[in-house]
Structure 1
Amino acid sequence: MSRRLVALGATLLLPLVALAPIPSAPAAPPAAPAAPAAPTSEQRQRPALMIKVLSNRADLVSEGDARVAVAPAKGVQLRAIRVSLGQRDVTRRFALRPNGRFEGIVTGLKIGRNVLTARAGGFSTSVTITNHPAGGPIFSGPQLGPYECQATARDAQCNEPASYSLLYQSSDPSKGGLQPYDREDPPSDVATTTTDTGVTVPFVVRREDGFQDRDRYTILTLVQLGKPWAPWAPQPQFNHKVLMTHGGNCGAAYAPGEPPLEDYSGTIPADTPGITQSYVTALGLGFSVISTALDNTGHNCNVAMQAESLMMAKERFVERYGLIRYTIGTGCSGGSIAQHTVANAYPGIYQGLITTCSYPDTLSAGAQFADYHLMRRYFEDPSGWAPGVVWSPTQMADVEGHISIVNSVVADEGLFKAALDPETPCPGTKEPVAGNRATRYDSETNPGGVRCSVLDIMQNAIGLRPRSVWTPQEKAAGRGFAGVPFANKGILFGLETLKAGRITAAQFLDLNEKFGGLDVDSQPIAGRTQGDDASIRRAYRTGLVNEAENLDDVAIINFGGPDPGIAHDYAHAFWTEERLMRDQGHTDNRVMWFGAAPLIGDPGWANEALTEMDRWLRAVERDRRTVPLARKIVQDKPADLTDRCSNVPGVGDVAGEEDEVDCALPESLQLRLSTPREMAGDDVFNDRLACRLMPLERSTFDFLLLPLTDAQWEQLQAVFPDGVCDYSVPGRGRVRTQTWLSYSDASGEVVHGGRNLPPLPAGSADGWSSASFREILRR
């Protein structure tokens, strides 16, 4: 989006002084207190003071500041309170604010542990605030490099001061998206909007752009020019709700990217006339919008780095703009992956998810696409087929689990090849041209270079390959590459198609004999992919495979439509549905919409889902019962917010008019297509990265009208000498997802697979959500 950057000069600061970074002018000092009376024994038995670090967990703070509240017990006078940071008195930073809290922004935190103490009379309490660099990392583990910062960076961590600009919504419908606003020459076509707090204001937006964690973030807020804004006294149009927007695909980068804003992963440009993006709708309702480049899976397919960037952005927001009631995520494809996996592995960052073009995670879909890749190598080379074996396109698609081979081609060409190839060009890496020193991996000329595979960007989570399996390239680099967290060993591809009589035994045997596998460089090998045991286990432990164990505490609206053959069929939404059902016995915290528009169901649903999710979360917010949050989300869901199908031929069509009805369509009409592994006999969860093996039994093929010949049986035994998949037991390495993991130890050294962070420090992150939602962070 084009925008005019406005320098932080007098022109901007005078009317927006409290919107700029934390004001340096402190509150007036409190009057000197009277000599306090000694506390009674009854007073000593109760906490006279509590310190709450509102803007984040006290142990995960960054950028040298934190928003802190001191809560005195009844009878403790505010003027008696003294606050110190180590030996430094910081009481002047605190005051009774318009929101009724005694709070302030504590600045000057050193990197590492800082002790903040509040005293009143004979009482005192302390909290340790652990501060981290603005450039990170915090819990994502040692940062990978080399990394190429933007030209304007002030240091090697890409830090630079935030910049600010103004945008507006035009009253002219031919102007799509938000337009640049010039304070010196204000436009005459500024629209007005009435927020959900009932405040009518010109539709003018303030945009903050800055850097955290070596990458860009963006914060958008509806603003009344010329009026003050302080974090404890925001302008009245702000409703204290946040929308987080996401991008698509899955990739790796070693340079800053752009925070995504538009719906549908960029398929509909943000400035398309006649299309109102949901982030614009949200701004008009009084929401603020946050986006980070690191939370765009196409730029960074690493769940820990995604969660870290969102946490840092929320901290900055609470410190500079205001407390948050709840946060809603929205996004298509990779945007659904980021929401699902962050919500499951780092619960508390979101309260509601709006997912479309849906996938549950990267790695289980990645295993499906790896199967496509290898099947294509076999199917598209008839010269390699055994004598007498001929495959029709229909049979190929059948074995793949689809109605057309187009899906596998697009998935492979558009997603899998680039994501898994370590030699793929990715931002921040260089080839050895024009005198540049090569930084990108090349298996022949630069084995020690930066690998652009998404598995390598995940290496802190999944770990490195053990020395015992190193390739010549790994030996030359002097290190193991990121482990391979999936396998196809033991899979009888096409078994269900064979059972149905749609392929012959000769086709089945030839496919499995020549299927092959992939090495650590994603290059084909004759044998099956073995996978690295430790990496497979860590993929589950770290939440890179989303098993939905922790999604019961978020409300979810998922919508989509038929897939025209671009690897986004609605079946992936059902993967999440099945996993939710397995884990919690119901899916009542999730709503499923299916429509006729390819992939997205209906162009208007992004905005409708936003308003419906807002209605749902408002109901939960009002529920102050002492019952689990998961129960509130189910019980407080509006009764008329249900599954639906619309614009589907023969369904919801009344008297020739469009209509929407509760949906109980056959799954075939919702295009719940299959996968190569389901067609091999695996289950509907599609979460088995690698299977456990059992002996190959000849009786498995008793269904054949013509039994396997002795030669065919020997051929099959040679293909599966160690046995075949046993789908009656959990897959290899499957363990429960651990939440809030850190990927470094106290000295900053990597901890592959992560270590559990300590419990949430008392009084931490209360600024992230209303009280009804905070239970999820306390667990």
Structure 2
Amino acid sequence: MTRRRMDQLARGYAIVYSTANQTRNHYNMWLAEDTARRLKKQFEALYGEPMYTVGVGGSGGAIQQYLFAQNAPGLLDAAIPLYSYPDMVTQTIYAFDCEPLEYFFDVQDADNTRWGDAEERSVIQGLAANSNVNSRFNIISVAASLFDSRYRNRANGATECVEGWRGLVPLVNNPNFVHFFKSFSEDLFDKVHWTHWENLRQFYGAGENGYANTTWDNEGVQYGLKALVNGDISIDTFLKVNASIGGWKAQENQSDEKLWFLNGGLLPVRLSVWSEQNLNTGTIANPAKRSRASLEAINGVYRSGHVFLGDVEIPIVDMRHYLDKKPDMHHSSASFSARERIRRARGHAENQLIWMSHKDYNPLGEALDVIDRWMSNIVENPSKGVVGNRPEDAHDRCFDKKGNVLAAGSEVWNGEWNGLASGKCMREYPIHSTSRQEAGAPITDDVFKCALQPVERALAKGVYGPHTEEITGRIDDLLRIFPTGVCNYNEQDLARPKDQLIPRGIPVKIAGHLIDPDYRQGKVLQGASAEEAEIKSAPVSVPVEGVPEQEL
């Protein structure tokens, strides 16, 4: 840690750090926040109150900064989230789609030669892919192909789903799997449900089966909807992928993983990179069963502050290397997901800058310089607020491999995500999407449980674009695949609490000064639009197992 932060120490910064703020150890944001508070208090007791406190950390460290700024105003005065995500739990929404989709491409639709090119899979997965890199699972797949023919037709290249997320879903969702199982006695291993849900059981709650509840849901999700509308996949492929892909089995019905060496095996005879033994799969004639989330669990993570709502006041420089070509799990679109959540919550996102650079250059020094001047302005003129004190040269920007600024300004990151012509930085470092965005969800990627609409209503609204008439002829297939309806992403998350989760109007303490919060008119989804209301003839019932309908 000291070696990595020598430059900051030389600049006059002090550094406080704890392993309890490493998300490789846990994702309990209450524990992380409590630890950070204690660290800061201890520092102040020893050395006095600092001029300001700025967070610096990547991935899980970035998540903590966004959530601390939202949940604990005054803990951080500024933030430099690196390789950010808005939070951890909303990552699961699209990450859990990865293996079902990879299994579809590799096995269920293996006769379709199109999927032999990894980049072609992005039309449904959304996430980045590169046909010119070798997957880190190639050697394993070659060995497994000696025993299992499913591994003999490997895709050229690699997808983010494989390179970034493979093996992580079981750590969150499979109660029978933990990669460090040798650290525990067999007796203890059998008594514990080894899931993220169980680790945060106090927030997710638990069912009568004794297992912690989960937030993951894909009921009504139309995978590849955008690709269908744009003519990038056929109606047959659209129907096949949605019929084939179900949800993950309930935790009590899951079996151990088959990840070869991670399970202690010597030969890849029991290898399954897709975890298909824990998936619900199907066909057009007999569609797969989708997963339904626990509304109690979703309510719990919202109310406990584990979801980033975007309500943050402090200066933020969201910074990352562009790794989408690798492809790496730290995809660049996550920064824009955070931005849109901030804009939606506050009516603007002028306190957040997005910086992106070539992987060979690290602009952290420049980011600290901007933050230092920004904080100095706030100390000198607290009445001007955060945005009013932003330095004139503090803009969104992008850098090349030598550190040259390729472009800077308020328009450099415009693009499809905000409906504007692509700016120079977006053209240099184009972002990708996710499987849920490709199914029609917003870039915020925070809809746990979509509002459902009958298939007939979706057809009447023209959801399927130029293919509406043709797909109407396949309505029996659609109704069989989506018996409870399809997602209506024009409405907000069905399970999000309706009351105000964060009180507004309370001044925020930044660098020792109380700053009035800067709220402006924002876009808030209140429900169906007037046009939709005319089409909607009756309320859409969304029954959920074990939960009375009125709780929806």
| TM-score between both structures, scaled by the size of structure 2 | 0.72
Aligned pairs for 1:52-201 (under 5 A) are none
Q: Tell me, what secondary structure is at the counterpart of 1:567?
A: coil
- Structure 2 equivalent of residue 556 of structure 1: 316
Q: Given the alignment of the two structures, is residue 573 of structure 1 paired with residue 299 of structure 2, yes or no?
A: no
Cα deviation for residue 391 of structure 1 reads 4.0
- TM-superposed deviation, 1:617: 1.2
Aligned partners of 1:412, 1:590: CA distance in 2, in Å? 27
- Going by fraction, where is strand more abundant, 1 or 2? 1
Letter of the 1:293 counterpart:
T
Runs of 5+ unmatched residues, structure 1? 1-260, 262-269, 272-276, 441-445, 471-479, 626-630, 741-758, 761-765
Contact 2:225 2:464 in 1 (8 A): no
Residue of structure 2 equivalent to 1:492: 222
Spell out the pairing of 1:333-732 with structure 2 (5 A cutoff).
333-381=59-107, 384-385=108-109, 391-393=115-117, 394-404=119-129, 405-413=158-166, 415-425=168-178, 430-432=183-185, 438-440=187-189, 446=190, 449-465=191-207, 467=208, 470=209, 480-521=210-251, 523-525=278-280, 526-549=288-311, 551=312, 553-563=313-323, 564-597=326-359, 602-603=361-362, 605-625=363-383, 632-647=385-400, 658-663=404-409, 664=412, 665-666=423-424, 667-697=426-456, 698-699=459-460, 700-701=463-464, 703-704=466-467, 707-708=470-471, 710=473, 712-732=474-494
Is the Cα contact below 8 Å between 1:337 and 1:361 reproduced in 2? yes
The structure-2 alpha-carbon separation of the partners of 1:281 and 1:520, relative to structure 1 and needing over 3 Å to count, comes to farther
The CA deviation at 1:361 is 0.7
- Whole-Å Cα distance in 2 between the matches of residues 462 and 590 of structure 1? 31
CA contact (8 A) 1:620 1:633 kept: yes
> How far did residue 482 of structure 1 move?
2.0
Paired letter, 1:413: R
What letter corresponds to residue 319 of structure 2 in structure 1?
A: F
What is the identity, as a one-letter code, of the residue corresponding to 2:196? V
Query: 1:354 aligns to what SS in structure 2?
Result: strand
Is the CA contact 2:56–2:62 (under 8 Å) kept in the aligned structure 1? yes
2:90 match: secondary structure? helix
Distance 1:291 1:494, change over 3 A: same
Preserved CA contact (<8 Å) 2:62 2:85? yes
Q: Which amino acid aligns with 2:120?
A: Q
Alpha-carbon offset, residue 669 of structure 1: 3.3
Contact 1:644–1:661 (Cα < 8 Å) also in 2:
yes
Q: 1:316 to 1:773 in 2, by over 3 A?
A: same
Structure 2 Cα separation of the partners of residues 460 and 530 of structure 1: 20
Report if the CA contact (8 A) 2:385-2:515 is conserved.
Answer: no
What's the offset of the Cα at 1:568?
A: 1.4
Match for residue 293 of structure 1? 19
Does the CA contact (< 8 Å) of 2:397 and 2:405 recur in 1? no
Distance (whole Å) between structure 2 residues aligned to residue 769 and residue 321 of structure 1: 19
Structure 2 Cα separation of the partners of residues 773 and 331 of structure 1 = 26
Change in CA separation of 1:701 and 1:427 when aligned onto 2, cut-off 3 Å: closer
**Structure 2 CA distance, aligned partners of 1:376 and 1:353?**
36
Task: Give distance in 2, aligned partners of 1:684 and 1:770.
Answer: 32
Aligned residue in 2 for 1:734: 496
Aligned residues of 1:401 and 1:673 also touching (Cα < 8 A): yes
Where in structure 2 are the equivalents of 1:752-763 lying within 5 Å? Answer: none
Q: Secondary structure at the match of 2:398?
A: strand
Structure 2: distance between partners of 1:643 and 1:588: 10
DSSP 3-state at the match of 1:331: strand
**SS at structure 1 position matched to 2:330:** coil
Give, in angstroms, the shift of residue 542 of structure 1.
2.1
Distance verdict in 2 for CA 1:399–1:385, change over 3 Å: same
Other structure's SS at 1:342 match: helix
The match for 1:303 is 29
Preserved contact between residue 314 and residue 510 of structure 2 (Cα < 8 Å): no
Matches within 5 A, 1:3-82: none
Separation in structure 2 between the aligned mates of residue 492 and residue 367 of structure 1, nearest angstrom: 14
Deviations 1:48-81 (A, max 9, x none): xxxxxxxxxxxxxxxxxxxxxxxxxxxxxxxxxx
1:708 is paired with a residue whose SS is helix
Equivalent residues of 1:574, 1:672 under 8 A apart: no
The whole-number CA distance in structure 1 between the counterparts of 2:167 and 2:339 is 26
Change (3 A) 1:514 1:659: closer
CA offset digits 1:613-635 (Å, max 9, x no partner): 1221121122243xxxxx61111
Match of 1:152 in 2: none
**Shift in alpha-carbon separation, 1:326–1:520, aligned structure 2, 3 A:** farther
Percent identity, aligned pairs only, is 23
Q: Deviations over 1:198-228 (max 9, x none)?
A: xxxxxxxxxxxxxxxxxxxxxxxxxxxxxxx
Q: 1:636 to 1:772 in 2, by over 3 A?
A: same
Q: How many residues align?
A: 434
Matches of 1:636 and 1:388 in 2, distance apart? 56
Native 8 Å contact 1:395 1:502 kept in 2: no
CA contact (8 A) 2:386 2:515 kept: no
| C-alpha separation in 2, matches of 1:517 and 1:295 | 32
- The CA distance in 1 between the partners of 2:167 and 2:54, in whole Å, is 29
| Rg larger in structure | 1
* Cα offset, 1:714, TM superposition: 1.4
CA change 1:450–1:618 in 2 (3 A) is farther
The whole-number CA distance in structure 2 between the counterparts of 1:732 and 1:673 is 26
- Note the C-alpha offset of 1:644: 1.2
Q: Which moved more, 1:352-361 or 1:555-564?
A: 555-564
Q: Distance in 1 between matches of 2:110 and 2:289?
A: 18
Distance 1:488 1:739, change over 3 A: same
Whether the 8 Å CA contact 1:696–1:723 is kept in 2: the answer is yes
Counterpart Cα distance in 1 of 2:24 and 2:427: 30
Mapped contact 1:493–1:512 kept (Cα < 8 A) = yes
Give how far 1:660 is off. Answer: 4.6
CA distance in 2, matches of 1:482, 1:513: 28
User: C-alpha displacement at 1:311, in angstroms?
Assistant: 1.2
Q: Distance in 1 between matches of 2:221 and 2:492?
A: 15
Alpha-carbon distance in structure 2 between the residues aligned to 1:429 and 1:351:
42
Alpha-carbon distance between aligned partners in 2 of 1:396 and 1:524, rounded to the nearest angstrom: 20
Q: Distance in 1 between matches of 2:216 and 2:427?
A: 29
CA distance 1:769–1:387, shift in 2 (3 Å): closer
Q: Is contact 1:390-1:507 (8 Å) kept?
A: no
- Deviation at residue 773 of structure 1 after TM alignment: 4.6
1: CA distance, partners of 2:21 / 2:116? 42
Aligned to 2:549: none
1:538 shift after superposition = 2.0
What is the letter of the counterpart of residue 560 of structure 1?
A: R
Question: Aligned partners of 2:452 and 2:195: how far apart in 1?
Answer: 29
Return the offset for 1:721.
0.6
Aligned partners of 2:104 and 2:54: how far apart in 1? Answer: 44
Residue 770 of structure 1, CA deviation: 4.2
AA matched with 1:662: A
Q: Deviations over 1:325-372 (max 9, x none)?
A: 321101111111111122212222111110121111111212111111
Unaligned segments of structure 2, at least 5 residues = 130-157, 255-277, 281-287, 413-422, 518-552
Deviation at 1:716, TM superposition (A): 1.5
Residues 313 and 380 (structure 1 numbering): CA distance in 2 closer, same or farther, change over 3 Å? same
